[in-house]
Structure 1
Amino acid sequence: MTLPLRTGLVVGKFWPPHRGHQLLLETAAAQVAELLVLVYANPDSETMPAPVRAQWLGELYRGDELAAGPHIGRTPLHIFALTAGADGVPPDVADDFTQREFVRQWLARQGLHIDVIFSSEAYGPGFAEQLGVAHVSVDAARERVPVSGTLVRGNPAQYARYLHPLVAAQLGAVPPAEVPRVVFLGAESSGKSTLCAALAEACGTVWVPEYGRTLHEQKNGNLDYEDLLYIARRHAELEDEAAAQAHGVLFCDTNAATTALYSYYYFHRCDPALRAMAAVCGQRYAHTFVCAPTVPFEQDGWRGPEALRSFQHGMILMQLDYFNIPYTLVEGTVEERVTQVQNVVGAWPAPARR
C-alpha cells in the first residue's frame, strides 16, 4: 500500500505513555508518510519531565537500526520534547485558543507543515479547525484502551496492564502475567538455553531465547551502548508474545537485570530506564533459577574466554542478593537440572500454574 504524502501531528502530555497513546500513534502512523509528536506539560513532572517521556516514546518505536531513528512500520516519528523555559509552553489551565495558537506558532518557527491532526480528546476537532487541517479521532470513548494518564499516575500498579513493560518499570510496576514466568540466569555457556529448551519440551510449553544473543549476532558482535536498553525492551516484548502460546508456565532465558550487568561490563554505565527494568525483575518472574557454570565450556565464537565464567556467575549472585530476589541454583546434567526445576515448579499451588 502506498502511503499518502502528508504529515500528521499528535500532541500530548504522554505522562506517562500508555497503551492508549500507542494506539493513537500507531493508528496515525498507518495513515501518513511521517508523524510529528509533541510532548509537553506545564507544570511538568519533576521525576519524568517531557524530555524523558519523549525518550521513552523513541525507545518504544526504535528498530534494530538505531541510526534510522524511531519508526512505526515504515513511518518515521519525529518526537519533540517542549518545555516552558525553552519553548514557552503555556500553562495547562490556559484557554483552548492559547493552547492551539502556541502549537501553530511553534510549528511555524520550526518551518513545519502538517496536514492532519490525530487525537483521542474532545479538543481535537476545534484544534484542527484553528490550524486549518483535517482531524482524525482515535478511540475518543476509550473503549479499546480504557485508561488515561491521570488514572495511571494515581495508581500505576492497578493500571500496569495498560503500560508497556519498559514504561511500567519506570513507575515501579509490573503488568500482570497471563502465566507464571520462570527465568534462568547464568554465566556464558552455563546451559541456560539448553535447559530452557529441554524444560519447554518436557512441560509442553514454550520458552523465550535470549534476545541479546540474537542482536549480538545480527550486529556481528558490534553492540552500541543504546543497544542494551533496546535488548531489554525487545526481550520483554518477546516474553509477552510468547505468553499467549504458553501452557502453565513460560521459561525465559535471561532478564533485564543481566542485560544491565552487561551494560556496565561493556560500557561502564547503564541507562536509567534499563536500571528500572532490572529493578522490577523480582516482581516480573515467579521464580529465578541460576545455572551453575559447571557444564563443559563451549566457545562458539561469540563468547568471552572461559576464565570469565566464574566472575560472571559471582556478579549474577551478587545482583540477586542486592535486589533481594530468591533463587534456586541448578547443577548437574541437563536431565538432573530439568528434574530440579520441575520439583520447584511442580510444588506450586495449581492456581499459580495457570
Structure 2
Amino acid sequence: MKNLYMKDRHKVGLTLGKFAPFHKGHQLMIETAIKEVNELIVLIYDDPIINIPLSIRAGWIREIYPQIEVIEGVNSPNDSGYTPEIMKIQEDYVSEVLGNRSITHFYSSEPYGVHMSAALNAVNRQVDISRNSIPISATKIREDAFKNKKFIHPVVYKDLITKVVLLGAPSTGKTTLAEKLAVHFDTQWMPEYGREYWENHQVNKRLTLEDLLKIAEIHIEKEDALILESNRFLFSDTNAITTYLFSLDYHGKALEALENLAKTAENRHDIIFVCDTDIPYDDTWDRSGDVKRKEFQQTIIEDLNARNLKYYLLKGTVDERIEQVSKVLTAPENNKFN
C-alpha cells in the first residue's frame, strides 16, 4: 500500500464520472483531492442517454475549479458493474486516456475505487462513500433538482433549468400565458421588463436608443436571478431579439451593444414559442393597432427564420396553448435527464 502522504513525490490525483449532474458530493471529493495532491485530473465520461452535453458538464468543473485539468472522455464505455470483463474494459479505457501519465492517488466515492486504483498502482482514496457528509446523489437530483438544489452549485443549477421564451407582437397573449404557465408548472416567470420601463420613461410613445439597450440589459439581469429560483422551467416574456426589432422599428437602427445582445439571445433559451395573432386584439392606448400587430408579428417570424432558429407557433385559447406547450416540454428530447 502506498503512503498517502509521500512527501517527497509529486502527487497526481485522478477522479472520474459522468457528473450528471455535478453536485456538492463531487465537490467534496475534488476539494479533498486538491488539498492532498499537487495536480488533479478529472475524467468525465460521455453518455448518449444524458441530454446535457459532455462539454457543458466539463464546463461546470472548469468554471468552479479552474486550477484542475478536465478531460472530456469521448467514446467512453457505458458498461457498468463489477464482472472481470467490465472492470477490464474500464481499466483499459482509463489507461488509454492517460497514456504514459502516472497517477499516485485515485479518488472516488464508489466501490470501483478498489479495482481502478489497483490497476493504476495508485492510493485508493475513497471520500464519503457512505454519503454521511453530503447526503445526495446524482440520481436524487435527476429526480427533483429543485427539491435538492442546496446540494447544487449555482453554476450547475442554471443549466438544469430549461429556459423557455415566448415571443410575439404586442397583444398576442404572451404575458398572460407566461404567468399561467408558471402556475401550471409551479415555477417562475420573467415579465417583459420593457413594459415596466416604457410606462415610466416613454415620451410620446417613444424610447431612445439608449433606453432600449437598458431594457435588454436589465431584462437579462432579472432573468438570470430568476433562473436560480426556478423549478425545471423558467418562462420569459420576450427577449433581446424583440427589443432589437423594436429599436429598428422605432429608429431604423439599433446600438451595436443591443445588436450583440440580440445575437447572444439566439442561444440563451432552450425552447422558443411564438404566440399567434389569432386572438382578439386588445386596443389599449399604448398600442399601435391590429394592422401594426400583424406587421410586427411577420417581422418577428422573418427574423427567427433568418437566424435559423427553431420555434413552435402557439394558437388557440390560453388553455389550448398551455396544452401545446406542455406537449413540447414533456417530449423526451427536451428532458435534460432523458
In the superposition, the TM-score normalised over structure 2's length comes to 0.51
Amino acid at match of 2:327: N
Residues 193-212 of structure 1: per-residue CA shift (max 9 Å, x gap): 01101111101011001011
The equivalent of 2:292 in structure 1 is: 308
Matched, 1:207 2:189: yes
Aligned pairs for 1:1-354 (under 5 A) are 177-220=159-202, 221-349=205-333, 352=336
The SS at the match of 1:285 is coil
Distance 1:325 1:333 in 2: 25
3-state SS of paired residue (1:200): helix
SS at match of 2:177: helix
Report Cα offsets for 1:80-122 as digits up to 9, x if no partner: xxxxxxxxxxxxxxxxxxxxxxxxxxxxxxxxxxxxxxxxxxx
User: CA 1:209 to 1:349, structure 2 compared with 1: closer, same or farther past 3 Å?
Assistant: same
Q: Deviations over 1:229-280 (max 9, x none)?
A: 1111111011101111110000000010010000011111111111111112
Q: Is the 8 A contact 2:216 2:239 kept in 1?
A: yes
Shift of 1:337: 0.2
Partner-residue secondary structure (3-state), 2:280: coil
Please give the secondary structure, in 2, of the residue aligned with 1:297: coil
1:206 and 1:223 map into 2 onto residues whose CA distance is 28
Tell me: CA distance 1:222–1:308, structure 2 relative to 1, closer, same or farther (3 Å): closer
Letter in 2 for 1:307: V
Distance, in Å, in 2 between the alignment partners of 1:350 and 1:338 is 16
Deviation (angstroms), 1:176: 6.2
- In 1, Cα distance between equivalents of 2:306 and 2:194: 23
Name the count of aligned residue pairs: 185
Shift of 1:350: 7.3
Change (3 A) 1:177 1:218: farther
Q: Distance in 2 between matches of 1:330 and 1:318?
A: 16
Q: Structure 1's 350 and 263: CA in aligned 2 closer, same or farther, altered over 3 A? A: closer
Task: Report the Cα distance in structure 2 between the residues aligned to 1:290 and 1:216, rounded to whole angstroms.
Answer: 22
Residue 177 of structure 1 deviates from its aligned partner by 3.8
Deviation at residue 303 of structure 1 after TM alignment: 1.2
Deviations 1:174-200 (A, max 9, x none): x96451110000011000001101111
Q: Relative to 1, partners in 2 of residues 1:259 and 1:337: Cα closer, same or farther, differing over 3 Å?
A: same
Change (3 A) 1:274 1:350: closer
8 Å CA contact 2:173–2:275 kept in 1: the answer is: yes
What's the CA shift for 1:146?
7.9
Shift of 1:299: 2.0
Change (3 A) 1:270 1:197: same
Structure 2 residue runs of 5 or longer lacking an equivalent are: 1-62, 67-156
Cα 1:327–1:178 shift into 2, 3 Å: same
Bigger Rg over Cα: 2
Aligned-partner Cα distance in 1 for 2:326–2:313: 13
Note if contact 2:223-2:236 (Cα within 8 Å) is conserved in structure 1: yes
Q: 2:206·2:250 contact (CA, 8 Å) conserved in 1?
A: no
Q: Contact (CA 8 Å) 1:248, 1:353: kept in 2 or not?
A: no
**Contact 2:227/2:234 (CA < 8 Å) preserved in 1?**
yes
CA distance in structure 2 between the aligned counterparts of 1:240 and 1:178, rounded to whole angstroms: 13
Q: 1:176 to 1:198 in 2, by over 3 A?
A: closer
Give distance in 2, aligned partners of 1:353 and 1:344. Answer: 15
Q: CA deviation at 1:286?
A: 0.4
Letter in 2 for 1:209: P
C-alpha change, 1:241 and 1:178, in structure 2 (3 Å) is farther
Paired AA for residue 190 in structure 1: T
Judging changes above 3 Å, is the alpha-carbon distance between structure 1 residues 195 and 341 closer, same or farther for their aligned structure 2 residues? same
The letter of the residue matching 2:182 is A
Q: Considering only aligned residues, what root-mean-square deviation do their CA atoms show, in Å?
A: 2.4
How many angstroms does 1:282 deviate by? 2.3
Corresponding letter in the other structure for 1:317: I
Percent of matched pairs sharing the same residue: 36
Listed as ranges, the gaps of 5+ residues in structure 1 are 1-143, 148-174
Give the conservation status (yes or no) of the 8 Å contact 1:249–1:353.
no
Q: Tell whether the 8 Å contact from 1:178 to 1:243 is kept in structure 2 after alignment.
A: no
